[in-house]
Structure 1
Amino acid sequence: MGLRGLHPAERVAEYTAAGWWSEETLDGLFRARVAAAPGRLAVVDPANKADLTGERPRRLTWRELDEEVNTLAHTLLAQGVGAGAVVGVQMPNTVELVTAYLACWRIGAVVSPLPVQYREHEITELGRLAGFDAYLTVDRIGDRSPVREICAVRSALPELRTVIAYGDDLPDEAHPVLSGPAAREIVEAHAAAHPADPNDCVTICWTSGTESAPKGVPRTHYDWLAITWASVDAPRLTSEDVLLNPFPMVNMAGIAGMFLPWLRVGGVLVQHHPFDLPAFLRQIALEKATYTVAPPALLGLLLARPEILAAADLGSLRAIGSGSAPLPPAMVRGWQERHGIGIINFFGSNEGIALLTDPHDVPDPEHRARYFPRYGVPGVKWTSRLSDQVRVRLVDPATGEEVTEPGVPGELRIKGPTVFPGYLNGADLPTPFDEEGYLRTGDVFEIAGEDGRFLHHVDRAKDLIIRGGMNIAPAELEDLLAGHPSVAEVAVVGYPDDVLGERDGAIAVPAEGAAPTLEELVSHLRDRRIASFKLPERLELRPSLPRNPVGKILKRDLRGGLR
């Protein structure tokens, strides 16, 4: 697929007629925020920014942020990056990352965000798939130099025309961010000549899925702005809120969960990176954060360590969003009863699932932890505006029949203005949609609760490992590990972790006469220059791997061995 006019005309007509989509754009929304309160604080750097990038932490008003957006947009234009160009962006959660998104959208460029942990292996693979025209990064993240890493593999990305970076220690091949009073005039002239179409692509995020090859997930102004309402309505965000963002702004959690809701309401966005619990708790107190997000394992750990919370000031915090894994009812109840903080249960994906259970609609913490709304049940009302827009159904994967009875497992399928238009280069991939246009999620639910008003998550049909909010595709690691001479067969599975939710481990069948060690396999993967967060942290050797009658490895039987 191209990057313009992604949703079909009939869908645009239907959803605009219903009032779910409009001519609003992301840059238009940002301009409205600047005009409404130019002198108010808008965005705050992580306090440890000096250790992270070597730059001092900053606090910008909406007017100051707008000026920096124009400066970066001018730099992009000066390097030939304009409307329709794809910009690979690899930056930590800082003021500059916020600026990068807004500057690209101002000139009509497409942002393809990459986790800072990605190395040459992932950068070249995704750069080829998306056809990066430009790459925007920083000179230092900790002890690494991302700008030098991208310059080292530039010859492998034939469409990459320019590398731009923040910082002072840049190689000759990289261009610094410009400055100058002419930036606004140049940028505004370009924007006037290239008006944004809300049906054009604005981001290409990446989903690992269960395959070794990642898939690009294009998003338009239309569907991003629609899904944003889920994260505004559930915590009841307003312009008075302070949002503390610990999730990387590379996929649904960081973008739709924090960044775009902030842009919608015009509050304060406080950035955090990398995750550090003491620093996170200090930011809540110092910035008087009212809303944040956290993985369920971390929330459970904090409840189990009351001495940590006793030393923290959480008085400003009124709600926490969580998800990516089932929420323990005792954890949701504990935060509500001990600290008066409501936990919002989110279920989402890059492709556009947007189910949420909040304390207003579901005050019972037991139900809130276990269930999600089954939108469309007659006589049942939900306060989120998405409840009137998103359609859901369960389908028996064996028969294809719709599931209408409680307690019967079925694949969740979803349709509405929050759903993405289809995968990048989707003609080469199986369609993710069924014959009625519903997104096949691959996740299994059951109908539950009074009047069948809820959906209960039964299983994650995919093998995806979610480590601290970062997705790990086992098939990618299995393909790489299979190339080690000491490995005959290998399976990669997740195992529980109190803080990160999951970590990944390998279960291998050694080649004849071999006895591979974890250190050898990790070194093998490091030589392939993959992101460090993907590296397995445990290894078990077995004489064989369990398989079903058709030869598929039974990963559920393997997970227990790594606990």
Structure 2
Amino acid sequence: MQTSSAERIRDLTEQGFWGSDTLHSLLASWVKKAPERLALADQPNKAELCGLPAQRLSFAELQQFSDQLATELLQQGIGADDRLLVQLPNISELVACYYACSKIGAIISPIPVQYGAHELKQFADELQPAAVITLSDFRGQDLAAQAREALPNYPVWALGEDFAAAGPGHVFDPEPLAKHLQQQRSDANDIVTICWTSGTTGSPKGVPRSHNMWLSIAEYTMAAGDYREGEILLAPFPLINMAAIGGFLFPSALLGCSLILHHPMDPPLYLRQLQEEAVTFTIAPPALLNQLAQQTQLWEQCDFSSLRAFGSGSVPLSPSMIEKIEGQYGKAIINFYGSNEGISLFSTPATAPSPEYRATMFPRLGVAGMPWQDRAHTATTTRVIDPESGQEITTAGVPGELCIAGPAVFDGYLNHNGAGVFTPEGLFRTGDLVEICGEPPNYYRIVGRCKDIINRGGMKISPSEIDTLLEGHPDLAEAAVCAYPDPVLEERVCACIVPAAGREAPDLEALCAWLLERGIAKFKLPERLEVLDALPRNPVGKVVRGQLQAVVMAPGENS
């Protein structure tokens, strides 16, 4: 299955942005170069999570294990372009499945382990998978039984039972796979994954991506994070989307890195793995980095001498956190902003030296007159357009929709007619609201989603701007704002807060006074306060503002 046109393939290949490497061809190259090097390691609590033994696999062993899985898939009738719905945590079997699917030309569609029967039906209706691969036990939950009940018309294979039951080292007949590889030549422009949008504003949409698209994301990520050959990478985010697939799986294949797995997030175990595995690069949730910055004693108890840098993102970062971890602890912070569709922005110590800039601003890639010289800038085009008129915005401080094109960007959603997805010039309409900023104005600041903007009497308010300020409040563990209806102004702002452990929640007056001290305009101040036990988040940790509004609107349930 290919979604890119012959013209697009030709143009990007001639420009040197796309090539001929596939995920499994990269693995094969490292089997030749460094067969005994550690390729993959499970988290030590894997058996407790899912009843399967933790594994440490060299590149040669990973090659053999993925060959075994590829052979099993072929024996089950799975072949080129067949789609597999895969619901697994970060375990070595999931990584081996990626390589196995790459080898036989099947398409892997990974989904979060948190999703239930309703979401499974949604995905299956869109994907029409040939089979489902999952677990019979994940933290006491029978995911396979759930899938069989939700999807009675699809084969469901449980790891360790129906599929990969023999495990690594199992002797199998290599001939079926060898014959398949001779008959079915792989192409770097073939679709290898169908991931899903996070569904923060609606139902998740399928995002087909080729090897070349993923490799472009990986190249940008590696350049931003200064990844190096043979490094040790700790992947704490689920291998279901851009952050983990583009930030860890493909870079590990490109550079022969050791990939250390972690999931679901367990901060004490994560910190332990950082030290015991001598990790050199990882991506950490902003909340954990904030904790490390605030608790110097905790940092000093750990040995992070091998670590070069932290990546982070998905929400605006704290400038004070960056200043503390870089200035006092000596570890660089890279701010990533991306999506499964191919958004790839990043702010590094080189492109945004000041913590204030790096926390919230990203270089304007592909815009004439910018000082950036890297491959991502050369390959990528970004523009800001007025969502209503479609006119380009070039003035600083005026919000507009970020639009982007380049070799990392997908061709369109699964089973979608393409309406409204791209501009007439072919740039992907991200739905992200940004403004040009900085002195000089060489940066973008993400100010929210186009559909998230609160309209208070004609004054447009970005929720994420207020979220970022509230996250710095010392008495709050979590905070986000959303709109609630008003008969006069159309919408007003409600602040939803979760008090920090052992702290008393501020009242509305105190919260607004704290915001005013930080220079916020009065018309942006919350006019309602809700104290919650937790904010609704999707499986990748983003606040689902639609669900937050539903909680706010539910009568009699909140404080």
TM-score range, shorter chain: 0.7 to 0.9
Asked if structure 1 preserves the Cα contact closer than 8 Å seen for 2:67 and 2:177, the reply is yes
Distance of 2:64 and 2:11 partners within structure 1 = 37
Say if 1:34 and 1:56 are closer, same or farther in 2 by CA, change over 3 A. Answer: same
Q: Aligned-pair distance for 1:122?
A: 1.1
Pairs within 5 Å for 1:214-229: 214-229=204-219
Distance of 1:384 and 1:296 partners within structure 2 = 26
Q: Aligned-pair distance for 1:385?
A: 1.6
Query: Which digits, 9 at most, give the CA deviation of each residue in 1:364-391, with x for residues without a partner?
Result: 2222112111123445343542111000
Distance of 1:430 and 1:497 partners within structure 2 = 43
Distance of 2:494 and 2:237 partners within structure 1 = 24
Distance of 1:324 and 1:54 partners within structure 2 = 31
Distance of 2:400 and 2:452 partners within structure 1 = 17
Q: Which moved more, 1:246-255 or 1:190-199?
A: 190-199
User: Could you say what secondary structure the match of 1:315 adopts?
Assistant: coil
Say if 1:178 and 1:237 are closer, same or farther in 2 by CA, change over 3 A. Answer: same
Q: Aligned-pair distance for 1:211?
A: 4.5
**Match of 1:41?**
38
**Match of 1:554?**
none
1:455 is the counterpart of 2:444: yes
**Match of 2:74?**
77
Q: Which moved more, 1:23-32 or 1:39-48?
A: 23-32
- Indicate which of 420, 425, 432 corresponds to 1:443: 432
Query: Which digits, 9 at most, give the CA deviation of each residue in 1:221-274, with x for residues without a partner?
Result: 121111111111111112231100100001111111222111111111000121
Pairs within 5 Å for 1:383-532: 384-427=374-417, 430-463=419-452
- Indicate which of 267, 283, 286 corresponds to 2:276: 286
Query: Which digits, 9 at most, give the CA deviation of each residue in 1:264-316, with x for residues without a partner?
Result: 11111000121111101010110000111112222112212223222221111
Distance of 2:351 and 2:337 partners within structure 1 = 16
Say if 1:497 and 1:326 are closer, same or farther in 2 by CA, change over 3 A. Answer: farther
Asked if structure 1 preserves the Cα contact closer than 8 Å seen for 2:366 and 2:381, the reply is yes
**Match of 2:226?**
236
- Indicate which of 153, 175, 198 corresponds to 1:185: 175
**Match of 1:55?**
52
**Match of 2:186?**
196
Q: Aligned-pair distance for 1:461?
A: 2.6
Asked if structure 2 preserves the Cα contact closer than 8 Å seen for 1:444 and 1:457, the reply is yes
Asked if structure 1 preserves the Cα contact closer than 8 Å seen for 2:312 and 2:334, the reply is yes
Distance of 1:24 and 1:441 partners within structure 2 = 28
Distance of 1:103 and 1:143 partners within structure 2 = 28
Asked if structure 1 preserves the Cα contact closer than 8 Å seen for 2:431 and 2:449, the reply is yes
Query: Which digits, 9 at most, give the CA deviation of each residue in 1:338-363, with x for residues without a partner?
Result: 21111101111111100111123332
Amino acid in structure 1 at the alignment position of 2:63 = D
**Match of 1:206?**
196
Q: Which moved more, 1:302-311 or 1:258-267?
A: 302-311
Distance of 1:135 and 1:73 partners within structure 2 = 15
**Match of 2:472?**
none
Asked if structure 2 preserves the Cα contact closer than 8 Å seen for 1:69 and 1:103, the reply is yes
Amino acid in structure 2 at the alignment position of 1:196 = S
Amino acid in structure 1 at the alignment position of 2:421 = P
Say if 1:211 and 1:303 are closer, same or farther in 2 by CA, change over 3 A. Answer: closer
- Indicate which of 158, 161, 173 corresponds to 1:165: 158
Amino acid in structure 1 at the alignment position of 2:133 = L
Query: Which digits, 9 at most, give the CA deviation of each residue in 1:32-83, with x for residues without a partner?
Result: 1222111111111001111111222211100001010011111101100111
Amino acid in structure 2 at the alignment position of 1:256 = G
**Match of 2:4?**
7
User: Could you say what secondary structure the match of 1:269 adopts?
Assistant: strand
Distance of 1:432 and 1:398 partners within structure 2 = 14
Amino acid in structure 2 at the alignment position of 1:355 = L
Q: Which moved more, 1:106-115 or 1:358-367?
A: 358-367
User: Could you say what secondary structure the match of 1:426 adopts?
Assistant: coil
Say if 1:358 and 1:562 are closer, same or farther in 2 by CA, change over 3 A. Answer: farther
Amino acid in structure 2 at the alignment position of 1:118 = Y
**Match of 2:507?**
none
Distance of 2:494 and 2:97 partners within structure 1 = 35
Asked if structure 2 preserves the Cα contact closer than 8 Å seen for 1:72 and 1:178, the reply is no
Asked if structure 1 preserves the Cα contact closer than 8 Å seen for 2:351 and 2:363, the reply is no
- Indicate which of 325, 335, 348 corresponds to 1:335: 325
Asked if structure 2 preserves the Cα contact closer than 8 Å seen for 1:297 and 1:498, the reply is no
Say if 1:164 and 1:30 are closer, same or farther in 2 by CA, change over 3 A. Answer: same
Say if 1:536 and 1:380 are closer, same or farther in 2 by CA, change over 3 A. Answer: closer
Q: Aligned-pair distance for 1:540?
A: 4.9
**Match of 2:259?**
269
**Match of 2:139?**
142
Instruction: Tell me how large the CA RMSD over aligned residues is.
Output: 3.1
Distance of 2:12 and 2:498 partners within structure 1 = 41
**Match of 2:516?**
none
**Match of 2:299?**
309
Say if 1:361 and 1:208 are closer, same or farther in 2 by CA, change over 3 A. Answer: closer
Q: Aligned-pair distance for 1:181?
A: 3.8
Query: Which digits, 9 at most, give the CA deviation of each residue in 1:477-514, with x for residues without a partner?
Result: xxxxxxxxxxxxxx999756879xxxxxxxxxxxxxxx
User: Could you say what secondary structure the match of 1:284 adopts?
Assistant: helix
Amino acid in structure 1 at the alignment position of 2:361 = Y
User: Could you say what secondary structure the match of 2:203 adopts?
Assistant: coil
Asked if structure 2 preserves the Cα contact closer than 8 Å seen for 1:238 and 1:266, the reply is no
Say if 1:497 and 1:263 are closer, same or farther in 2 by CA, change over 3 A. Answer: farther
1:374 is the counterpart of 2:367: no
**Match of 2:308?**
318
Distance of 2:445 and 2:310 partners within structure 1 = 21
Alignment length (residue pairs): 484
1:132 is the counterpart of 2:129: yes
Query: Which digits, 9 at most, give the CA deviation of each residue in 1:416-436, with x for residues without a partner?
Result: 101011000012x63310111
What TM-score comes out, normalization by structure 1 length?
Answer: 0.80
1:68 is the counterpart of 2:65: yes
Asked if structure 2 preserves the Cα contact closer than 8 Å seen for 1:209 and 1:462, the reply is no
**Match of 2:110?**
113
Q: Aligned-pair distance for 1:110?
A: 0.2
User: Could you say what secondary structure the match of 1:456 adopts?
Assistant: strand
Asked if structure 2 preserves the Cα contact closer than 8 Å seen for 1:206 and 1:217, the reply is yes
Distance of 2:289 and 2:438 partners within structure 1 = 26
Amino acid in structure 2 at the alignment position of 1:291 = F
User: Could you say what secondary structure the match of 1:403 adopts?
Assistant: coil
Q: Aligned-pair distance for 1:198?
A: 2.1
Distance of 1:24 and 1:65 partners within structure 2 = 18
Amino acid in structure 2 at the alignment position of 1:303 = A
Distance of 1:495 and 1:462 partners within structure 2 = 22
Say if 1:104 and 1:379 are closer, same or farther in 2 by CA, change over 3 A. Answer: same
